[in-house]
Amino acid sequence: MTTTVSLVEHPEASTASPACTAQPSMVVRAEQAIAAACAQLGRCLQQLGPHFPGDTSKGNYFAPAVWPEEPAGVNSSWTAGFWTGLLWMAHELSGEARFGTAAAAQLEGYSSRLERRFVVDHHDLGFLFMPSCVAALRQGPQPLAHATALQAAALLMTRYLPRAGVVQAWGRLEDPAQRGRIIIDCLLNLPLLHWAAGQGGAAEMREAAIRHAQRSREHLVRPDHSSFHTFHFDPETGAPLHGTTAQGASDQSCWARGQAWGLYGFALNHRWVPEQGFLQTACQLADHFLALLPEHGIACWDMSFPPEAGEPWDSSASAIAACGLMDIAEQLPAAEAERAQAYRQAADRILDGLLRHCAGWDAPGNALLRHGVYSKPDGLGVDEASLWGDFFFLEALARRARGWTPFWHPPAALNSRPIPPSTSTPV
């Protein structure tokens, strides 16, 4: 039986922590959480061995992925890159060779997946190849990883529909049900095109990424700064048609993870092309997200529901949003220091809630972040952990504790060496 998490089950989550209660600083708490997370990842790695886990946990335990007519643990889903990325991240944060060794051993599988064209008829090639192959380049020259990432970007470009100015999200390009459809998640796949354009790939990759982000800003973002999950265009004329959802409560609702993808995605695209002004859109989406976020910091799976509705949480949406809020704060100009600080404080509030109520190491299981939702309408991964939830939770902790540079950032910003624990004065 699937259980759900609500304020009824967690009455303590209905109020904020008392301001007068002495608490360790968030830097200290995040540093402690990194140690706990890396230990938990080590246990999960030991249990999985060379196998890739499934998209979501079962009872907060990840098990080897299952795919029809394929061996258990095959690199098959759009989420596989998050597992390899978690291993690279743990290697950088802990300095433990076992994580880097495991991640490096998976790289050839990404090349083979491209050669087979195995489950790559979608736009999530950025999610697959940025945290795996591009991340590997932080450890030094990696010819196979570099070539594989460039090939993945070239494949992603085949999904670009120039007349519509968008990268098609799902399905084969000739599929009439999916042709011309985009989803808000794609904003985090566009950095692969920007990266490849700077690594000898076609200049058209950068132009396509910019145009897709522009079209997303024009049509995925509503006037009230909520967002559609998906939007449909006429692929031949480029005419905008209508917005829909696949995982939200309704076509007109605000799916929490989509709103989080949007605020982080526009912030990341601003890093690659700051002249496009995507940071303003990121701020607008962030403000709407925060306006609907419960005080405890954990988003309901769809933000059209009030907290008292008792609907399941999606902790992964909050983890993604925390990363986005920190990214926005880092990029705001000095003249907006007060606004940047407000976003940092909001990210801290979210991390506080996640650490208090969702940390995987505080309960049986091998996951990092409990109480997520994959797709509530489909009954998938409800009140479970997810690979993307674990990934962005650890990313948020690493950024807060150590100023760690995410895999999604331009190469000039990347730190190629493992980062030791912070010795600076906690703030």
Exactly one of 55, 121, 175, 185 is catalytic; which is it? 185
Strand, coil or helix: 127: helix
Exactly one of 55, 121, 124, 352 is catalytic; which is it? 124
Is 287 annotated in the active site?
no
User: Cα–Cα distance between 169 and 167 in angstroms, integer?
Assistant: 6
Strand, coil or helix: 147: helix
In angstroms, the first-to-last Cα distance of the chain is: 43
Strand, coil or helix: 334: helix
DSSP string, 130-144: IIIIIHHGGGS--HH
> What sign for the dihedral angle of Cα 143, 145, 148, 154?
negative
Tell the residue number behind the tokens 């980062």, with chain if given. 419
Q: What are phi and psi of 183, to 5 degrees?
A: -130, 155
Alpha-helix runs per DSSP H in 63-124: 80-94, 97-105, 107-116
CA distances from 9 to 1, 12, 104, 300, 341 (A): 16, 9, 42, 14, 32
Establish how many alpha carbons lie within 13 A of residue 169's alpha carbon, considering only the half-sphere containing its beta carbon.
18
Is 185 annotated in the active site?
yes
Active site residues: 124, 185
